[in-house]
Amino acid sequence: MPLDKLINYLKLDKQEFMFQFNSHPNYPSALAFSDTLNFMGVKNDAYELDKEYWDELPEEFIAIVDSNFSLVKKSGSQYSIYSDKATTVNKDELYQKSTDFVLLFEKDPTVNKSVISYQPFLYVIFALIVVYSILTLTWYEALFNILSLAGVYISLEIFNQKFGNTSAVIGSICGDTTGNQTVNACNKIISQDKTSILGLKFSDFSLIYFIAIAVLGLFLPGTSFVLKGLAVASVIAIGYSLYIQGLVEKTFCRVCLLIISVLLVQLIISLSLFENVDLDMKTTLLSITLLAVLIFSVIYLNTTLQEKENLQKSNAKNLRFKRNYDLFKRELLEKDKVTFTDNQTFLVGNKDAKIHLSVISNPYCGFCKDAHKIMESLLQKYPDEISVQMRFNYTPDKQNEKFTGLISDFMYTYKNKTPEDFLQLIEYWFETKDENKTRIKAGITSTSENLSPLINMSAENRNAGLNFTPIILINGYQFPDKYDREDIYYFIDDLTEDDDIV
């Protein structure tokens, strides 16, 4: 489902969004889309709303336009639509193309959506090559190298697009905002490339070719003979590309025509301006080695990235099954419900919440740190929907003085400071595992708290067979062993609406 412009506008990680969306058990429904946005930090509410009320909607909302989830932005009497492309329509066109489904959203500004990109490093390399070429080579040799870098950049964008990454550069060249015809022409030529030599597509050879001549161009004029030969050989590729576009597909791809233009200019420069330098053994070996390394490198990258993409698709399908709430609920209710008499000691969050979580833990348990982080994260994300009780296992006759002092510090902070201070102290403890630093952090000089509530709570844990840590309970039901603790994020919304659990 094409959602490029929508995802880019919301500044979401496309790869993560599509993975979460595809792995939702209800994919590709509106529920799956809404849940994925929520998971990515874009809070939203979905409605079925008659068109007569759409004038009351905010300036930005999400609707299903032309069978695609699309961001709709009001601009006077016009509406900008963002989905796989950006278009502008009037009210009548919008109403005609869309269903009654609308989704109102609010982005969470605290969620970090940064994505690591290779481009800054690439730009540095390009800048160094350009500076070197201008300072040490003739103007036409420098121009040849700059054109090679342009070819490398465009070829890289095409290469990345094969594996589902959106290219703003190719989109702008192909007329991303002018309608479907030109965009489909580019996609048709690039994505339906039937060439296969050693498993490499025509676009792969474009990347190999331009990287090779960009490297060899640094050794001009000594490599002029090889570059001239490669430029002449590129005529075959130009002819083949024009044949595919004009006679086979009967449509022309702008980005392909741009690459052809680069090749033709380089051909003219090399034939008319390059010096006539005899080919020597050193240059020949350099050229052959470089081409061989590039070919095998691209083959390896193709194989690796294809395997990664296949694994992601397979994982997404498996996760649809794993994240099915009905299956999770069946596993959750499989064990008997545990009832505690003490539900107040170390309780944080909304005490009247529908979902009450309990985490059975031990401050010295290595795995408990992650369980507590999950609880803190859930409290931040669902402050009104859940409460959490920290149920530490503590037996006074079996614990040393340090453990008792630490638990006393927790008890003092819980009783005398805010819940936020209590949670921060526990987080600080798991980060440092230093009793003295934790006491200083709590601002306590000495304390001897009444630990009877904690002792009784620990006894309740033992009597219920909850000896191992960490264990998470949801309204008294033990979190299923078949699921990872992090999977709880996917089920909170369903749990709050399930009468059997609440």
Among 43-47, 120-124, 246-250, 318-322, which is the least confidently predicted range? 318-322
Tokens of 159: 């290469």
The kind and range of the H/E element at 139 are helix 139-161
Place of tokens 């061989």: 292
| In the predicted structure, residue 1 carries a pLDDT above the cut 80 | no
Place of tokens 């090679």: 148
Among 107-121, 253-267, 322-336, 343-357, which is the least confidently predicted range? 107-121
Among 77-91, 103-117, 455-469, which is the least confidently predicted range? 103-117
Q: Are residues 105 and 42 in contact, defined by beta-carbon separation less than 8 angstroms? A: yes
Show me where the domains of the chain are located. 4-107, 119-310, 329-496
The architecture that CATH gives domain 119-310 is Up-down Bundle (1.20)
| In the predicted structure, residue 375 carries a pLDDT above the cut 90 | yes
Of 436, 432, 425, the residue nearest 402 (C-alpha): 436
**Crossing angle of the two packed helices 139-161 and 180-191, in degrees rounded to 10:** 90
- HSE-CB of 442 using CA atoms within 13 angstroms: 30
| In the predicted structure, residue 9 carries a pLDDT above the cut 80 | no
CA 103/CA 94 separation, integer angstroms: 15
Quick one: pLDDT at residue 117? 54
Indicate the average pLDDT of the chain: 85
| In the predicted structure, residue 429 carries a pLDDT above the cut 80 | yes
Looking at domain 329-496, its CATH class is alpha beta
Instruction: Tell me the average pLDDT across 180-193.
Output: 59
Per-residue H/E/C for 451-495: CHHHHHHHHHHHHCCCCCCCEEEECCEECCCCCCHHHHHHCHHHH
CA 209/CA 294 separation, integer angstroms: 9
Span 111-163, pLDDT tens digits: 444 444 557 888 899 999 999 999 999 999 999 999 999 999 998 888 877 76
CA 302/CA 162 separation, integer angstroms: 10
CA 440/CA 449 separation, integer angstroms: 17
* CATH code for the part of the protein at 4-107: 3.90.70.10
DSSP bridge partners of 360: 391, 471
* DSSP code at position 258: H
CA 247/CA 232 separation, integer angstroms: 23
| In the predicted structure, residue 2 carries a pLDDT above the cut 70 | no
Quick one: pLDDT at residue 68? 85
- The helix/strand/coil state of 195 is coil
Instruction: Tell me the average pLDDT across 178-184.
Output: 43
| In the predicted structure, residue 475 carries a pLDDT above the cut 80 | yes
- State yes or no: cis peptide before 470, omega within 30 of 0: yes
Of 187, 218, 203, the residue nearest 287 (C-alpha): 218
Cα torsion through 372, 378, 383, 388, rounded to 10: -40
